[in-house]
Amino acid sequence: MDMLAGFPYLKAEFDKHAKALDPNLARTVNQSISTQRSTDLLVFAHGWNNDVAEASDLYKALATSLDKAGAHQLADRKLSILGIFWPSKKFATSDLVPGGAANVDSDLDDADLRADIDQFRSFIDEAKHGDLDVMSRQVGMLSNNPASRAEFFRHARNLLDSRNALDPDDSEEIPADFFATEDEADINDIFSKMRNPDPPHVSSAPSTSGAAGFSGSGFKAGARRLLNYVTYYKMKARARAIGKEAVNPLLCQIRKQHPNLRLHLVGHSFGGLVVTATALGEPGQAAIPVASMSLLQAAFSHNGFANTFGKKASQGHYRGVVTCPHS
C-alpha cells in the first residue's frame, strides 16, 4: 500500500465505460481500511484535462496541505485517501492555447484538422467511428461548401448523446436547436456563429476548465471549436457516469462493511461533478450520507443544489445531496 504525505493511499482507476480496472478494488480498499483502522476516508477526484501524473500531483498537494494543517494529530481519527483516476480526455491542439490559434482558414492545415478529428477514436465507441470518417472527408470543403459544413456538423453532433450531454440543471449551455434542427440553413447559422471567438449562441463553458483561447475566425476554426465543445460535453457526461456508475457503487460497498466510516468527498473542476454524482447515485436511490464535500472550481451549474430555480421553479438535480442526512 502507498502513502501520500503520511496518509494511507489507494488508487481507484476506471475506464471510459466506468468499469474499475482492478476487479478486486472494493475488497482491497476495505482490507486497507480495516488494517489501518481508518475512521475517515477522503475521496479525491480530478477534473478535465488531467492525466495520471497531473492528477497524482493534485492529490499530493491536497494531502500535503492536510498534513500541514495537522490532520495527523486529530484525536481518535485516522485518515486514509482514495484517489479516483478517470479518463478525462485532453484535446491536444494549439487552438486550446491562448495566442496559439490561426486567424484565417488559409492558415489552418487540413491534415491537422483531420488529426484533431482522429483523436476522438481513442475515447468514443467504435460505433461512432463512421461519423469521424464522414467529418474527415468534409474538411477540404468546409470553407466554400455549406452542404459540407452541415454534414460535418450533423456527424459531430452525433458524437454526443442528447439525453446526457447537457447538465440537467443548465439547459442554456447549448441551444435547444443544436440537437433538434435538421435544416441546412439553421445548421450553417449555428456553425457560422462558431467562427467567432465568443459565439453568441453557444456557451463559453470550456473556459471553466482552461480550454479557452480560440482566435481563429474562419469555418475551419469553427470546426475546431465545435470539436472542442463536443470533447467538453463528452467529458462532462463521462464525469457524471464515473460518479454515478463507478464510484457510488464502490463507496456503497465500503460503507456496507464499514458503516461508521466518515466519507469526505473532494473534487476539482469536473471532479466536482464526479463526487456530486457519486453522492447522489442512481435515480430513486438514497443519497450516500457524507461527512463533508469540498468542490474546488466545480464545473457544473450551481442550480444543481437549489431547492427551486428558473421559471418552472424546478428542483436542482443534485438537491438530494444537500437534503441527505450527513454522517
pLDDT higher than threshold 70 for residue 104: no
Percent of the chain topping pLDDT 90: 51
Confidence of residue 214 (pLDDT cuts 50, 70, 90): very low
Could you tell me the domains of the chain? 2-88+238-323 (3.40.50), 94-233 (no CATH)
Q: Which tops the pLDDT comparison, 135 or 236?
A: 135
Dihedral over alpha carbons 138, 144, 145, 150 (to 10 degrees): 70
The set of cell numbers assigned to 310 is 428558473
- 306-319: pLDDT as tens digits: 898 877 788 888 99
Q: Which tops the pLDDT comparison, 29 or 214?
A: 29
How much is the average pLDDT of 236-258?
Answer: 95
The set of cell numbers assigned to 28 is 482491497
Residues pairing with 318 in the sheet: none
Q: Helix, strand, or coil here: 219?
A: helix
The residue written with cell numbers 478535465 in the block is 48
pLDDT higher than threshold 90 for residue 169: no
The residues, ordered by sequence, that sit 6+ positions from 107 with a Cβ below 8 Å of its Cβ are: 216
Position 300 scores a pLDDT of 86
Lowest mean pLDDT among 125-134, 145-154, 170-179: 170-179
Position 16 scores a pLDDT of 87
Position 195 scores a pLDDT of 60
How much is the average pLDDT of 235-262?
Answer: 95
- What span, in angstroms and rounded, lies between the C-alpha atoms of 148 and 234? 23
Position 245 scores a pLDDT of 96
What value, to the nearest 5°, has the Cα angle with vertex 325 and ends 69 and 305?
80
CB 276 within 8 A of CB 290: no
Position 48 scores a pLDDT of 86
Dihedral over alpha carbons 201, 202, 208, 214 (to 10 degrees): -100
Q: Which tops the pLDDT comparison, 161 or 25?
A: 25
The residue written with cell numbers 492545415 in the block is 109
- What span, in angstroms and rounded, lies between the C-alpha atoms of 204 and 212? 8
Position 161 scores a pLDDT of 73
Average pLDDT, the chain: 83
Alpha-helical runs (H) found in the chain = 25-36, 52-68, 110-118, 129-138, 146-157, 177-180, 184-193, 219-241, 248-257, 270-280, 319-323
Confidence of residue 176 (pLDDT cuts 50, 70, 90): low
Position 206 scores a pLDDT of 43
Confidence of residue 162 (pLDDT cuts 50, 70, 90): low
Confidence of residue 262 (pLDDT cuts 50, 70, 90): very high
Q: Helix, strand, or coil here: 292?
A: strand
- What span, in angstroms and rounded, lies between the C-alpha atoms of 91 and 281? 29
Position 163 scores a pLDDT of 59
- 40-67: pLDDT as tens digits: 999 999 998 888 999 999 999 999 999 9
Q: Which of 212, 298, 238, 278 is nearest to 88 (CA)?
A: 238
CB 176 within 8 A of CB 186: no
User: Mutual orientation of helices 110-118 and 129-138 as an angle, nearest 10°?
Assistant: 170
pTM: 0.82
Dihedral over alpha carbons 315, 171, 118, 150 (to 10 degrees): 150
Position 6 scores a pLDDT of 95
Give the Å distances, CA to CA, from 267 to 31, 128, 133, 241, 293.
24, 30, 36, 15, 8
